[in-house]
Structure 1
């Protein structure tokens, strides 16, 4: 059994056993590998976002949270690659880190044969990408957390002339396309609604304060030459 097949089988075995815990030694015996190999496999799955938890001690072992995982999905290889292309274009967006873990979960939930076919097809796809990112890698993640938790965020922002200002912003919505993303929020420095290009945010710090609830419809500022529509989420 190759590693891809073993990782898939490992997740399914833990799902079938949950909530009972399974020791690394028992898993090693089942898959005919060393305990150290099982530990490396579990670590790789955890880093990929699979909700596997470990308890130490004689009665300890690994268990998987069934409520946060998917059974095998009926994605065709082409459908999985289509999702990968879409998620691959999320780089630089507020949810780029979550896009990567989502794709890993989808692939892990597919059958071994379909997963291998999808990987082979994906190997024949190439995307254009900038040589260097304009913003620090941490900025989109901080803004994502600010929006999800509805927290005020402190931005160091560079305008089109390169002038930097520091301002506290109450996040309202993200808007954008495949490359350019904006944070629409209430700027306390200006006392008005403002739109911030995410690639011009030099630093972002999450504050402890909860932002008051504001609606996009109550704000007057709009991106130039753009129409805003809601994300279609089925």
Structure 2
């Protein structure tokens, strides 16, 4: 790992450690460098304006001051391109438009040199984005999920039969290259998986969901996981 990328990563590690902080020895072990190197990195971060505190003695360590004014978001070019690639490759994912807007906000505050390097590197990454459902359908499904309200959909089965159903959204799931809306179907009085690309219409109703939970769907496949942001 280049030093610039390590500085970004160390800063993120300190942010995630919160008020408990993190020892120089732990950071050195995590990043595969010496304690002396980590302390030089911490000095460099502090000199750049990062609000780093230190606590000496047993149980001491380093952290970022709570409530302090942080410098603008700082990413390495590779991190910036990773975000752009992930969002571009998953244009059919739930909340993809919001994710793209978030990435644009991050890119807008990068320093000009990093942004230029990220733009150059981005030109070396191609993605084959899948066709996306209509914006109106996606918006309705996303709103129903976020607000936990019943969504009324017109759904076409694999056999071509169309039906209108009221669904209590429980989760979105990606499997076999497709996105699914998983929810309690009031027509069938059971949990059902609906392929999002087969939903012809969708509208959010004023009816609140009755409380069906993810646990009712069952255990996810061994290679599936929620999209929590890291281990914290």
Give the TM-score taking structure 1 as reference length.
Answer: 0.63
Superposed, 1:2-151 pairs within 5 Å as 71-130=71-130, 133=131, 135-151=133-149
Deviations 1:108-147 (A, max 9, x none): 12112211221121122211134xx363232122111111
Deviations 1:192-217 (A, max 9, x none): 11011111111110111111221121
2:169 paired with 1:171: yes
Question: Any conservation in 2 of the 1:134–1:200 contact (CA below 8 Å)?
Answer: no
Partner of 1:157: 155
SS of the aligned residue for 1:126 comes to coil
Question: Any conservation in 2 of the 1:186–1:192 contact (CA below 8 Å)?
Answer: yes
2:214 paired with 1:216: yes
Q: What is the rounded CA distance, in whole Å, between the counterparts of 2:175 and 2:89 in structure 1?
A: 9
Q: What is the rounded CA distance, in whole Å, between the counterparts of 1:101 and 1:230 in structure 2?
A: 22
Distance 1:71 1:102, change over 3 A: farther
Partner of 2:203: 205
SS of the aligned residue for 1:142 comes to helix
Deviations 1:54-88 (A, max 9, x none): xxxxxxxxxxxxxxxx8522201111001111111
Q: What is the rounded CA distance, in whole Å, between the counterparts of 1:227 and 1:80 in structure 2?
A: 26
* Structure 1 position 228, deviation (Å): 4.4
Structure 2: gaps of 5 or more residues: 1-69
Question: Any conservation in 2 of the 1:93–1:140 contact (CA below 8 Å)?
Answer: no
Q: What is the rounded CA distance, in whole Å, between the counterparts of 1:230 and 1:100 in structure 2?
A: 20
SS of the aligned residue for 2:215 comes to helix
Distance 1:135 1:212, change over 3 A: same
Partner of 2:229: 233
Q: What is the rounded CA distance, in whole Å, between the counterparts of 1:161 and 1:178 in structure 2?
A: 19
Number of paired residues?
162
